Structure 1
């Protein structure tokens, strides 16, 4: 594969750069964003390292349990006034935010690259996803949240209405891998539904969330309604669960299960997007060149650190050799490197822990007989946590990466003999987040997609079709999560449903002068008639 040199900018003056990059937002600008966080009384601040260079990009104050509880109290006060404003007025904030995101994208592209180590095109995916979310909820929220008339038990005489009320204060725990897009997907619908939000982004990528927070307030969001707390889960996690009226979490399945148990004791709601081991099924009639190109994007975008990226590819034996040859060639053509610009196709892993996991998975597979067709090694010459995009064959169940999520630029190719076998193997996992099906016959592809047990399935695409269609729900089946983000479901989950019915005229219980048996007969006749008209 082609490599580009990591641009460290070591010759630049340190006070004017972040993470060692000339042209990056200044250290003063980073400090300005950090000051938007609530709290910070913990005596042990955290230094964040830029993945491209290994240099410190920010120093983050850490909140205490008391800081978080205070943030909830203050957010609750702000929420009351916000909830009283019409939904149409609230959604106008998101419409203005949509424009600001696109106008100011250069700075956030730099920040996402610096914090997460992404190639710039992958960082732009976050900008476009954030704009799409703001645009969708900025246009449709009032309609989705509006009071809905439903047929009453007695036509004309019973007026029935369904109302939606905000939950109150929502706690959102965001991951490091998509710091801008996933902040937007979870925070913006919670706010436009009339809630306040207390968000804990991951320390590694907190500046991206703080940047969006700044723009939201510039777009008209009341100050204090969205609070961002920076801290360690071990110190502030309990406060987030115990003070919230609803919890939204994105992260690992074990952590999600633990949080769900805590929430269950309080009988408050939650939604979670958790792990995945996403399959791609290439049917025998699939156009090989297009499928191979699609697989590169599906597997290696954001260096594979995407919850919906593909880690397993099942290819029909009749085209397996041709597909593998084309896929490996396209993978080896990827430009790997770190720079603030569009020069590289794939960037770095985000942390030392991710590099360790990826390396361990590949070495375990190699030691147990898997064949590495390309990649399979770290690239410290480019930066501390770079790893080459890697394609394996001969992966068997005793290997760690066969069933466990790698969350890196590693994919395994398997052959299959018939479609029933491919579907069964795609579903043979405890996860069910995303899947991809490739076929020359769209109807056949959709038929296979409908049989895969995953929350989103893309036909002739890896993940972007469902990910970018904000009107569609996104979430996992089985151990990949609970609940959905995006679409009407992603907004309504942050509300409580209330039913109000007004009864006129005829009572729904018999008057004293009417024998109960006669009443039951009359009502039975009425129920038969109602079935025809309702």
Structure 2
């Protein structure tokens, strides 16, 4: 049986319908005086919510309001700033069903994939709430000269951060970036994708309820062509997650102002199956790595390289599992894959698959849309025989499609894995983890997972996550994930002696003394 469909009866959808009072309250948090826009539900294509639109003047007003709120917020001790976020962790757990429903309605993803967003926000928030005071606190640094020079490093907030978050993981990639920015003492003007504003507005509503100053996090809604420039023109720092094309535009725009930025961009991520891999475990892992959120995940796998000795056996296991994936517009954890979010994504996936098949690629599983399930469903698809002239070979698909390749040796597969302008994520599967680590170190990617597709590295919040090459600049998570929202300042005080010749000592003699001091510091390991 191919791609079992889960029932999407209207009664099931009705049971999880979003209350009009909730939608009205969330809409009230948008900084906007313009018209209105209707958000469709990807599951059905019907209207989900109506939100007000932000004008360019509204954006400027949002920055003014945020700056005023930020002055008082930045003066609070870090331990006071983290309190709403510590409360948020417990409340998220207790009220997770609310946010899961919202995420599914606005994105069309399966509930298990919405749950990953909840987990990410809860765990990332807890990580920074526990560590923010230490990471942001003053630090002693080695002075110019031992004892007589005393140096401290201070961290100050940037001011107002302009944050642009994407539609594919709206709760996760919005809230989990905003949380450390706020903890660092900043205010935020946030432009979520218009289709997926509700989850961000829910997070804002929750934090205000838990004690966050109301004006500190401003949400603006609208077309980037209308409100993008005033956002970039007024931000003290810009954080962006989205396409490589969008990242280039932002970098060029803020360059004139010498404003800092971080960009997490596209990927064409490889998975390498070594000849000693556990085939059953690897096939199960590949399903998650390739088809989570219908492949609409920046770190998902789109290129799958399998050693020639196990290629046929692995391909058979993978295809069987892909054909058994349960699809549906459903609020049950049993559903394994949901809908695409945008019509344009369905068109991209359809175009790339059809073009590849016309050029000679073989469809091993899937390969077609499923309008019987909903307007934006596409089957999880495995292709073989993909070659360089096909758009799907090198271009990011961002959908439920993976190309299967065989290889002979490690040098060959590393060359294939690195033959891309992207470098976001990669995956290696082997029974020999030491071997996997050696190979992983040769792959040009910001994160590499061994015996996992993406989650092990992404959810290791103490380690930085981000891309190399055209997959981005900067990192989220780890110390850098919060320190990037700060300006660092060094304050040094001089004691007992000055940094000039004492008394009437000739400068030449003083110079010789300093030179000897360098050798002495080296000898006694003072430096």
- 2:471 maps to 480
Q: Does 1:7 align with 2:18?
A: no
Q: CA deviation at 1:46?
A: 1.6
Residue among 163, 167, 174 paired with 1:172:
163
Q: CA deviation at 1:32?
A: 1.5
Asked if the contact 2:6–2:326 (Cα under 8 Å) also holds between the matched residues in 1, the reply is no
Alpha-carbon deviations, 1:234-255, whole Å to 9, x = none? 0000011011000001111111
Q: CA deviation at 1:5?
A: 4.5
Q: CA deviation at 1:23?
A: 2.7
Q: CA deviation at 1:185?
A: 2.0
Q: CA deviation at 1:2?
A: 3.5
Secondary structure of the residue aligned to 1:72 is helix
- 1:235 maps to 226
- 1:522 maps to 513
Q: Distance in 1 between matches of 2:398 and 2:317?
A: 23
Residue among 124, 139, 148 paired with 2:130:
139
Alpha-carbon deviations, 1:469-517, whole Å to 9, x = none? 1111111000000000111110000000000001001111114611111
How many aligned residue pairs are there?
524
Q: Does 1:163 align with 2:154?
A: yes
Alpha-carbon deviations, 1:28-65, whole Å to 9, x = none? 311221111111x223x221111111110011211000
Q: Does 1:32 align with 2:25?
A: yes
Q: CA deviation at 1:6?
A: 5.0
Q: Distance in 2 between matches of 1:112 and 1:4?
A: 21
What TM-score results when the alignment is normalised by the length of structure 1? 0.97
Give structure 2 stretches of 5+ with no counterpart. Answer: none
Q: CA deviation at 1:323?
A: 0.7
Q: Does 1:386 align with 2:387?
A: no
Runs of 4+ aligned structure 1 residues displaced above 4 Å come to none
Q: CA deviation at 1:8?
A: 5.1
- 2:452 maps to 461
Residue among 79, 99, 117 paired with 1:126:
117
Q: Does 1:325 align with 2:316?
A: yes
Asked if the contact 2:383–2:403 (Cα under 8 Å) also holds between the matched residues in 1, the reply is yes
Q: CA deviation at 1:340?
A: 1.8
Q: CA deviation at 1:285?
A: 0.7
Asked if the contact 1:93–1:138 (Cα under 8 Å) also holds between the matched residues in 2, the reply is no
Alpha-carbon deviations, 1:316-375, whole Å to 9, x = none? 000011110011111111101111222311000001010000000100100000000010
Q: Does 1:56 align with 2:47?
A: yes
- 2:422 maps to 431
Q: CA deviation at 1:184?
A: 2.0
- 1:15 maps to none
Paired residues for 1:330-409 under 5 Å: 330-409=321-400
Q: CA deviation at 1:467?
A: 1.3
Asked if the contact 2:3–2:379 (Cα under 8 Å) also holds between the matched residues in 1, the reply is no
Q: Does 1:192 align with 2:183?
A: yes
- 1:42 maps to 34
Q: Does 1:23 align with 2:24?
A: no
Q: Distance in 1 between matches of 2:469 and 2:335?
A: 36
Secondary structure of the residue aligned to 1:487 is coil
